[in-house]
Amino acid sequence: MLYQRSSALFKEAQNVIPGGVNSPVRAFKAVGGTPIFAKSAKGAYVYDEDGNRFIDYINSWGPMILGHAHQPVVDAVIEKTKEGTSFGMPTALETEIAELAVSMVPNIDKIRFVNSGTEACMSAIRLARGYTQKDKIIKFSGCYHGHSDSFLIAAGSGAVTFGTPNSPGVTQGTAKDTLLARYNDIENVREIVEANPNEIAAIIVEPVAGNMGCIPPVEGFLEGLRTLCSAHDILLIFDEVMTGFRLAKGGVQQLKGVDADIVCFGKVVGGGLPVGAFASRNEIMNHLAPNGPVYQAGTLSGNPLAMAAGLAMLKSINSDKGLMNRLDEKTKYLRNGIADALNKNNVVHTINSIGSMISVHFSEEPVVDFESAAKGNNDTFKTFFHGMLSRGIYIAPSAFESWFITDALTYQDLNETIAAVEEIAKEL
């Protein structure tokens, strides 16, 4: 494939945009080469500026669960645009999508819409601290909750030490209130809780991790978090920015039968437009301004275009009784096909999947947390990534990202993907 136009655009972009991109992973630093500049997308495919077509497995990092340019979403945005793009005033549409979301997700009474998953998680932490009157939080190594200062924390020297900043610009003062735990290790979490009695406001977790590849929770992990939080008056926050409305209509709470105290959403809830949300029970949400003392605001929160897109998306998901089963079956079919292709050629690998999320790790041991994910062969992944790209298959340009399956994918698309893997496996 030729990428002349993309290469020229990337060179031009670097003159006026840091690194030539507005989100770092897009720069292909982890895999090398020149990023692909998208021009359009429809259904399961994205088309670049050079006219190449790719079967798309990132789907804007998750929201395109029904495929790109899903017609009800497109129509809703076009019609709403004709009435105005932003008011900074409440609209009936906000209530309509809020009522639908609350009806779909267990254990929530109220929802507040914001502009991104980062905003949702940041606001959830502020709300948890305001509600509990405690300062510290626990997050997990390898779980990404956006680029708010509290979340950009790397591991300390021991299991119960304070975090240290993982990015210049994050202060030690902020870092000291973030404690880092190992994902899927409930005993490690218990140690941290017991070492910080009556100081922890919240535990925030991706209930299915998607930012170190797809890593499902091991049996008992989420249940253990729920038990710990209930015993120590800690709020359990599920970051369902990736998983909400994707792994089940009610998210991981419904899928795994574990109740969180606060749930964060993004991706799917915006139908492809910039939307995030956080939700909880009445007694917690009523601490938010204007009802309560915890302040959170945004001029573009509840933007009519975003609400129209999100409402159309949620209506489509809610009315399609077979959607989740179709997504599960397509993911299983793809997983089995990739595994057979790699096994046939003796390529060391581990595949994780749950629902419509999947990732291929070039590692011989199970991948259950960030430490085991980091042991994967990154050189092999780079070869795999570029081999897929050259064959018209677009996967995440990082070994530490999940793939997302969309309902628009056909079995022909899946077979084409599996055939590409089989060809590449001979070279690995």
- Is residue 267 part of the annotated active site? The answer reads yes
Per the residue annotation, which of 239, 261, 369, 413 is the catalytic one? Answer: 239
Query: Minimal CA–CA distance to 159: which of 137, 205, 190?
Result: 190
Whole-number pLDDT of residue 20: 96
Average pLDDT over residues 119-123: 97
Report CA 61 to chain centroid distance, whole Å: 7
- Is residue 135 part of the annotated active site? The answer reads no
Q: Is the pLDDT of residue 60 over 90?
A: yes
Per the residue annotation, which of 267, 369, 382, 407 is the catalytic one? Answer: 267
DSSP string, 74-103: HHHHHHHHTT-S--SS--HHHHHHHHHHHH
What the chain holds in terms of domains, given with CATH numbers, is 4-69+322-425 (3.90.1150.10), 71-319 (3.40.640.10)
The residue count for the chain: 428
Average pLDDT over residues 378-398: 96
Whole-number pLDDT of residue 183: 97
* Distant-in-sequence, close-in-space partners of 45: CB < 8 Å, separation ≥ 6: 53, 54, 55, 56, 68
- Contact between 259 and 225 (Cβ < 8 Å): no
User: Among 24-28, 332-336, 421-425, which is the least confidently predicted range?
Assistant: 24-28
Whole-number pLDDT of residue 189: 98
Whole-number pLDDT of residue 151: 81
- Contact between 399 and 318 (Cβ < 8 Å): no
Average pLDDT over residues 382-398: 96
- Is residue 45 part of the annotated active site? The answer reads no
Long-range CB pairs of 45-49 (<8 Å, 24+ gap) are: 46/394, 48/3, 48/5, 48/6, 49/5, 49/6, 49/9
Whole-number pLDDT of residue 164: 53
Rounded mean pLDDT of the chain?
94
Whole-number pLDDT of residue 292: 97
Cα–Cα dist 139/145, whole Å: 9
User: For 326-354, b where at least 16 C-beta lie within 10 A, e where not — what string?
Assistant: ebbebbebbbebbbebbeeeebebbbbbb
Q: Is the pLDDT of residue 199 over 90?
A: yes
The phi and psi torsions of 115 (rounded to 5 degrees) equal -105, -5
For 219-250, the pLDDT digits (tens) are 999 999 999 999 999 999 999 999 999 999 99
Burial of residue 19 (number of CB atoms within 10 Å: 0-12, 13-18, 19+): middle
Q: Is the pLDDT of residue 383 over 60?
A: yes
Query: Minimal CA–CA distance to 135: which of 189, 176, 171, 169?
Result: 176
Q: Which DSSP category does 143 fall into?
A: -
Whole-number pLDDT of residue 154: 54
Per the residue annotation, which of 3, 57, 131, 144 is the catalytic one? Answer: 144
